[in-house]
Amino acid sequence: MANTKSIEDKVERKKVKRTARKKAAPKAKRTTPRGSNKQRIRKMGRSLGKR
């Protein structure tokens, strides 16, 4: 993304960022599903639920 630290005006900064996003190459599609490397938790048994 464009370096916008030097731009003081918020609206102007927004415009610069938007044009930079439009010029950038599109991101590739995901190869793995989102959250696939999240840690999985095992479900508790029904008897332990209220303890």
CA 31 to chain centre: 16
Residue with tokens 């048994």: 45
Domain spans, the chain: 1-25
For the stretch 2-24, pLDDT in tens is: 788 888 899 999 999 999 999 99
Helices of type H across 1-51: 10-23
Half-sphere exposure of 38 (CA within 13 A, CB side): 7
**Contact residues for 2 (Cβ-Cβ < 8 A; gap 6+):** 16, 17, 19, 20
Give per-residue pLDDT as tens, 35-44: 888 888 887 7
d(CA 19, CA 1): 10
pTM of the model: 0.49
